[in-house]
């Protein structure tokens, strides 16, 4: 085991826990400690730690009942695009409709949307309502790992329940449109670093980071990050991607890449719209991004300390979209488009939807409707602005059996940058 050790620190400004949550945290700490002690050498690889913290039965962040999504403090930890305004879903519906139309023409089957990780159900509701006139027989499937969120989705989608079905496994064969908004970033990642000193070949060896039990009276939790030599496929991939710089830290999301490859086995005709924050590979592993992209969210407070508040906070990493595109090609899928969220939404007609909303509300003659209009106008700026979600979030479209061009990539296709 390497002598490299990182002890967690409670980030400045992070909200303190109420007494009942403090007691819950202690239970989570014991669960993590139990898993660490069951590992050889007491080393729990970071991807397994992240899997536990997010998806462990009963106490994981996404499987327990805590509030995740909210727009107002203090409840909730983060806000997603579909929650900001229905304009996001209404605009996305244009590209979804083009995919469904081609699927129908090619196969004659009933149009189907499959959403992974549907959150509060806001996007599903908007897509079903927006596409209802064009596709009255639309079927909407949801694959949701969180029982708590699935309950919230069922409540929200009650009025369209005849069109919605919850799945407990991947389909064997699928024709239609797959939607995954902020799904890939929640898949567990391997955390890696380059050694501080060069080896005999003059290179800084790849080390895998993991969690160990390290009681420390000055640390918020009795855990620490430690390093060991990376092995096998993980080592090979990391050596190819991480710059050979002493102490360079970053992530590799092999699970997301495997998920994309699996898509090629069950997607018969159609496309997947993958929307998430991230970069192409040459930006992801830029020498200046030497501390990686790992981020945690707790009550709208973002920080980079994944070991604190296990099971109570979200843990995410940005997406290497080049790796996702390569995985799609390896699975014999076509990469149909890659763009920033801003350009994608503009190509799909967001400004038209915003103008239509203004006309419907008619705030000039009904000033009481002005607050609603202002809210949606501000939300559209958040979706589009480079300093907000517009540039950080990207849209990758992969699939098979369809014919370009696609409306969401008419002016902003960046496949040449992958």
For the chain, give the mean pLDDT.
93
Alpha-carbon gap, residue 319 to 328, rounded angstroms: 14
Query: Phi then psi for 62, rounded to 5 degrees?
Result: -90, -10
Picking from 1-5, 274-278, 380-384, which range would have the lowest pLDDT averaged per residue?
A: 1-5
- Predicted local confidence at residue 3, as pLDDT: 72
Q: Would you give the distance in Å from CA 376 to the centre of its chain?
A: 24
- Predicted local confidence at residue 68, as pLDDT: 53
* Distance between first and last Cα of the chain: 36
Q: Using one digit for the tens of pLDDT, what is the confidence trace for 14-58?
A: 888 898 899 999 999 999 999 999 998 999 999 999 999 999 998
- The answer to whether residues 311 and 60 touch, using CB atoms and an 8 Å cutoff, is yes
Alpha-carbon gap, residue 347 to 95, rounded angstroms: 9
- Which residues, including other chains, have CB under 8 Å from residue 318's CB and lie 6 or more apart? 185, 276, 277, 278, 279, 284, 293, 295
Q: Which among 180, 210, 178 has a CA at the least distance from the CA of 4?
A: 210
Q: Is the predicted pLDDT of residue 78 greater than 70, yes or no?
A: no
- Predicted local confidence at residue 71, as pLDDT: 44
Q: What is the average pLDDT across 173-189?
A: 97
Share of the chain above pLDDT 70, in %: 96
Domains of the chain: 5-62+189-256+280-319 (3.40.50.12710), 81-181 (3.40.50.150)
Band of the pLDDT at 77, cuts 50, 70, 90? low
Q: Which among 198, 182, 416, 216 has a CA at the least distance from the CA of 307?
A: 216
State if pTM tops 0.85.
yes
Q: Which among 94, 130, 265, 112 has a CA at the least distance from the CA of 178?
A: 112
Band of the pLDDT at 72, cuts 50, 70, 90? very low
Q: Is the predicted pLDDT of residue 129 greater than 80, yes or no?
A: yes
Q: Which among 299, 287, 207 has a CA at the least distance from the CA of 14?
A: 299
Alpha-carbon gap, residue 111 to 100, rounded angstroms: 6
Q: Using one digit for the tens of pLDDT, what is the confidence trace for 359-388?
A: 988 888 898 888 888 899 899 999 999 999
Q: What is the average pLDDT across 138-159?
A: 94
| Structure token pair of residue 331 | 């699975």
Secondary structure E strands in 206-363: 206-213, 223-229, 249-252, 267-279, 295-298, 301-303, 314-316, 319-320, 334-340
- Predicted local confidence at residue 2, as pLDDT: 60
Q: Is the predicted pLDDT of residue 137 greater than 60, yes or no?
A: yes
Q: What is the average pLDDT across 219-243?
A: 96
| Structure token pair of residue 149 | 């969120």
Band of the pLDDT at 70, cuts 50, 70, 90? very low
Picking from 131-145, 186-200, 204-218, 360-374, which range would have the lowest pLDDT averaged per residue?
A: 360-374
- The answer to whether residues 210 and 46 touch, using CB atoms and an 8 Å cutoff, is yes
Alpha-carbon gap, residue 214 to 207, rounded angstroms: 19
């Amino acid at each position: 085991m390497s002598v490299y050790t990182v002890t967690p620190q409670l980030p400045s400004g992070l909200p303190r826990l109420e007494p009942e949550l403090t007691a819950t945290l202690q239970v989570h700490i014991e669960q993590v400690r139990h898993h660490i002690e069951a590992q050889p050498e007491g080393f729990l690889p970071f991807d397994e730690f992240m899997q536990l913290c997010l998806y462990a039965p009963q106490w994981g962040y996404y499987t327990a009942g805590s509030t995740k999504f909210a727009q107002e403090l203090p409840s909730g930890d983060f806000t997603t695009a579909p929650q900001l305004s229905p304009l996001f879903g209404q605009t996305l519906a244009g590209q979804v409709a083009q995919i469904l139309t081609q699927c129908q023409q090619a196969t004659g089957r009933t149009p189907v949307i499959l959403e992974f990780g549907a959150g509060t159900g806001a996007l599903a509701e908007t897509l079903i309502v927006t596409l209802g006139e064009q596709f009255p027989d639309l079927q909407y499937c949801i694959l949701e790992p969180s029982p708590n969120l699935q309950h919230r989705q069922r409540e929200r989608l009650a009025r369209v329940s005849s069109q919605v079905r919850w799945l407990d496994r991947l389909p064997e064969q699928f024709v239609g449109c797959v939607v995954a908004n902020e799904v890939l970033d929640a898949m567990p990642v391997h955390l890696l670093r380059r050694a501080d000193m060069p080896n005999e070949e003059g290179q800084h060896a790849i080390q895998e980071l993991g969690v160990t039990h390290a009681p420390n009276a000055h640390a918020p939790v009795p855990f620490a990050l430690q390093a060991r030599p990376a092995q096998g496929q993980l080592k090979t991939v990391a050596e190819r991607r991480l710059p050979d710089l002493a102490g360079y830290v970053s992530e590799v999301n092999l699970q997301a890449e495997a998920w994309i490859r699996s898509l090629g086995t069950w997607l018969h005709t159609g496309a997947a719209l993958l929307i998430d924050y991230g970069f192409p590979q040459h930006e992801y592993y830029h020498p200046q991004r030497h501390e990686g992209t790992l981020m945690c969210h707790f009550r709208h407070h973002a920080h980079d300390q994944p070991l604190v508040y296990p099971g109570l906070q979200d843990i995410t990493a940005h997406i290497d979209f080049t790796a996702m595109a390569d995985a799609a090609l390896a699975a014999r899928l076509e990469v149909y488009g890659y763009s920033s969220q801003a350009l994608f939404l503009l190509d799909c007609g967001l400004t038209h939807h915003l103008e239509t909303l203004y006309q419907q509300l008619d705030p000039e003659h009904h000033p009481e409707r002005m607050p609603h209009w202002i809210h949606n106008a501000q939300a559209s700026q958040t979706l589009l602005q480079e300093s907000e979600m517009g540039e950080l979030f990207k849209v990758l479209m992969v699939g098979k059996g369809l014919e370009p061009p696609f409306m969401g990539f008419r002016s902003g296709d960046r496949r040449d940058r992958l």
